[in-house]
Structure 1
């Protein structure tokens, strides 16, 4: 359960380095395709059999009890994407770190959990792995959407300053509301939640799906391929800062989303224990102390309460 020996300066450097174009290009299969793809069973209205089959898998899964976790007889297995800055990061020494991993480490320590194991996988496999019992908890800036809440149980939120965001070139726009983007060309990551948001909230827009790297999404603005990018706000903050001094960008938060830890519905005891310590961490400031390490480099001010 150790932090891997990374200091604050090393963590901040790792966060900002992850927005380097070469870094993003090299992580397409692990980051872009994984982080921005949808869960295989998210759209239950179009695939009810998928939903029913997944529920069947979830039923009867043995749950880790607090007694087993606190004694060390049972390891808490946490799933997340390998690289999803600033939430999940591989540090310079190869240690799995990041805001979400450090928060769940701190929360688990307060609960008294002795052993933790972090499993990395593509985003699309997280939900199914949780239901199949391959992992016990998802820590990955996971949003409790209505469809997900039909499958999983969620803790109280630990991060409320992220969500769907817009990015545009300074001097154009501003594109800080759905109405301001009417009739405009909106670049999105193909298959992402922000794409669905744009199609729903800006029906008159021309949607430009990008089935490529995050750097290619970024390049749709200077190349003239789009008027505005709608994607993940936290990532956009990194893009804005990466180009500071070369390209003048603006960005805005369009729809705040609350990130929480997901567990199986049968893990009521674990969820309630985590809720209790997260509430304490919000109140005593320790939660924001962790978040500032990762959000300060992106100039995102943590919320004081959920």
Structure 2
């Protein structure tokens, strides 16, 4: 009796172990990606509710090259992305995230996949009042919380920066004359000016601020995934897929590979 009971326990243990292995294998086939989908043209929700954009298409292509059967892109607040990565709710982040020394202390970054810069949007009626970025020093500014745009705005106007959860909210505040300028990544600013009716009466100060490189973030302990992502990115750059995705969303020649 005791022998049979012990055998049954072993059988159950084996079944459980196999179940765990199967679950682990299935889990490994899906790459869980965190993003903040209000940042067109990098990541945003299409009319049907699906997530799309340059970052979304790029990580899907990288995931395929890396051998994943499925790439699941999850939408969450920008300032919640790194905490979600640290607690294993997601495997990686692609969200137009600038590689900074502060972030690099918490996460590991892939090779840069995009080079950007910051610019400032103001109301057209104020273009003579604010001909240069420095002319906005000490003025009320808007930006998205947790971004390098917010950090730069704070250096221009310490204590006078309104930080919003999304960029559209920052743009709306500018239009409502709640701030004098929006500091943001230039590609996002240009997309806003070109694609939305809400940009009427808004213009860009003709000055590019700090050059920034975007990277894909992973947990510092996940070196295997980092290597897979870097290898996948390199393959896309070599076979022309990266260029095709870039030109689709920016209508320009890539500034970095």
TM-score tier by shorter-chain length is: 0.7 to 0.9
Counterpart in the other structure of 1:286 = 241
Q: Distance in 2 between matches of 1:129 and 1:245?
A: 33
Matched, 1:187 2:138: no
Change (3 A) 1:210 1:270: closer
What's the TM-score once normalised by structure 1's chain length? 0.63
Does the 8 Å CA contact 1:282/1:305 hold for their aligned counterparts? no
Count residues in correspondence: 229
Q: Distance in 2 between matches of 1:168 and 1:208?
A: 15
Counterpart in the other structure of 2:12 = none
Does the 8 Å CA contact 2:107/2:220 hold for their aligned counterparts? yes
State the SS of the aligned residue for 1:254: coil
Structure 1 unaligned blocks of 5 or more: 1-67
State the SS of the aligned residue for 1:238: helix
Structure 2 unaligned blocks of 5 or more: 1-23
What's the TM-score once normalised by structure 2's chain length? 0.73
For the pair shown, which has the larger CA radius of gyration, 1 or 2?
A: 2
RMSD: 3.2
Counterpart in the other structure of 1:36 = none
State the SS of the aligned residue for 1:253: coil
Extract structure 1 runs of 4+ deviating beyond 6 A.
none
Change (3 A) 1:260 1:73: closer
Pick from 170, 177, 183 the counterpart of residue 230 of structure 1: 183
Residue correspondence of structure 1 range 1-306 to structure 2 within 5 A: 74-161=29-116, 163-170=117-124, 171-172=127-128, 175-177=131-133, 179-182=134-137, 185-189=139-143, 191-193=145-147, 194-200=149-155, 202=156, 207=160, 209=162, 217-218=170-171, 226-241=179-194, 242=196, 246-247=200-201, 249-251=203-205, 252-296=207-251, 301-306=252-257
Does the 8 Å CA contact 1:166/1:175 hold for their aligned counterparts? no
Larger displacement relative to structure 2 (109-118 or 224-233):
224-233
Give the drift of 1:152: 0.7
> What is the CA deviation profile of residues 102-155 of structure 1, one whole-angstrom value per residue up to 9, with x for unaligned ones?
101111112222222222222222111111111101111112221211111110
